[in-house]
Amino acid sequence: MKRKMNRWVYALSGVVILLMAGLVYAWSVLSKSIAAEFTAWTKTELSLTFTITMTLFCIGCLVAGILAKKVHPRAYLILSAFLFLAGFMIAASAQSPAVLYLGFGVLCGLGSGFAYNAVMSTISSWFPDKQGLISGILLMGFGLSSFIVGKIFAFMAPADGSGAWRSTFRIFAVVICIILVLCSFVFEKPAPEDLAQFSGGKKKNVRPPASEMTTAQMTRNRSFWLYYLWAILLSGAGLALVAQASGIAGQVGTSVSDGTIATVVGLISILNGIGRVFFGTLFDKKGFRPTMILDMIIFIIAGVILIIALISGNFMFIIIGFVVGGFAYGAVTPTNSAIISDFFGRRNYPMNFSIINTNLIIASFASTIAGKLYDMSGSYLSTIIMMIGLTVAGFVVFLGIRRPVERHENTESE
């Protein structure tokens, strides 16, 4: 089949797909309307929904990675479309946390994971010369989703206990399903002749990966596990902020409207998207060390600003803290993608990438822990302290990460 489309057309389709799949990150806004109807449900119960979603997201990524060589990514996108359709429809009928867990947590989480791996592994393969940049652009769509969805949801389903969120969930189900199915037809793997034009000529200065490792070899590498732990810690810090953002803003802005709260929470997504492009590009130009160090510094600054906001009651500091925190969290996902490609190669990227993404299974418990800490303390100050603590621990782990010694033969000697 002759490919007439520019690779950026494929990239655009990937951004649109991840814009739909990334709505799972809008949970802090979605949950507010649900909590308004079910006032007896605790913060811990609602936060567990997000933990389940992230866990199934990782499982979906892993399954897609395992079967990457046997199943065309288009099939995963279509499957994802119908999982979102079923998941939102089931969640819309929820009268108990268990039904919410099944619909939004299991089905939507799984669908998001399938779409995420299919897009990241396929579209990034079109850009061997711009791994950090393309990861950032694709993940910008994933991150911006919660802002766009959050604003639409806040308008259609205000947190007034009316139950309007149910009809909104049903509308989301149909719209997302249709968009994913349509985008799946503008989705193609690159052939060797497609890649040749991006690997030579003016691109000779592109640094090759340090090695080409199988998944078994990668998981025997010390730096992989240290990075994996770093990703857990920094993802946990980001997810704790994302999951509790509406509550944090509400604790300070007691007289601020729901629409304004949704907008301010959405700043995390906007800056998350910007941060993904920025840090992806930084990785391409400067490598992993400056990227990771700068990210951790910015995370800690965000935590300090939010502590000031909670202590002073000044809502402006909430806005600044969310901007800085969202930007910092934007570094984690493109670094995951780029470091797997740079450290361990392209040959087994779909499977290796799915393995690194399983860090979210553990990291997602940060949102549940943050919810529990709030139930115990009655203040979101505990969430911010937890966020700073995870980042400091991440810096300690970072000190041991080393890029593998450069070699390009796939041997079992690793």
The model's pLDDT over 72-82, given as tens digits with 9 standing for 90+, comes to 888 889 999 99
CB 198 within 8 A of CB 128: yes
Q: Distances in Å between the alpha carbon of 48 and those of 102, 161, 246, 273?
A: 12, 21, 16, 25
Closest CA to 328 of 362, 359, 294: 294
pLDDT of res. 265: 81
The reply to whether 120 falls in a domain is: yes
pLDDT in tens, 281-307: 898 888 899 999 999 999 999 999 999
The reply to whether 182 falls in a domain is: yes
The reply to whether 405 falls in a domain is: no
The reply to whether 348 falls in a domain is: yes
pLDDT of res. 178: 95
The whole-angstrom separation of Cα 85 and Cα 79 is 10
Report how many domains make up the chain: 1
The whole-angstrom separation of Cα 144 and Cα 329 is 12
Q: Distances in Å between the alpha carbon of 374 and those of 42, 303, 390?
A: 10, 16, 17
Q: Distances in Å between the alpha carbon of 90 and those of 71, 103, 108, 384?
A: 27, 5, 10, 33
The reply to whether 404 falls in a domain is: no
The whole-angstrom separation of Cα 283 and Cα 124 is 15
pLDDT of res. 2: 43
Would you state the structure tokens that stand for residue 142, as one six-digit string?
């994933």
Q: Which domain holds residue 61?
A: 7-199+206-398
Determine how many CB atoms are found less than 10 A away from the CB of residue 311.
11
pTM value?
A: 0.73
Q: How far is CA 166 from the centre of its chain?
A: 25
The reply to whether 403 falls in a domain is: no
pLDDT in tens, 365-389: 887 888 888 888 888 898 899 999 9
Domain of 174, CATH number, reads 1.20.1250.20
The reply to whether 342 falls in a domain is: yes
pLDDT of res. 408: 45
Burial 363-401 (b: 16+ CB within 10 A, else e): bbbbbbbbbbbbeeeeebbbbbebbbebbebbbebbeeb
CA-based radius of gyration for the chain: 20
The reply to whether 324 falls in a domain is: yes
Q: How far is CA 368 from the centre of its chain?
A: 17
In sequence order, which residues have a C-beta less than 8 Å from that of residue 369 and are 6 or more positions away? 240, 386
In sequence order, which residues have a C-beta less than 8 Å from that of residue 81 and are 6 or more positions away? 111, 176, 177, 178, 179, 180, 181, 184
Q: Tally helices (H) and strands (E) across the chain.
A: 19, 0
- Which residues, given as ranges, of the chain have pLDDT below 50? 1-4, 201-204, 408-414
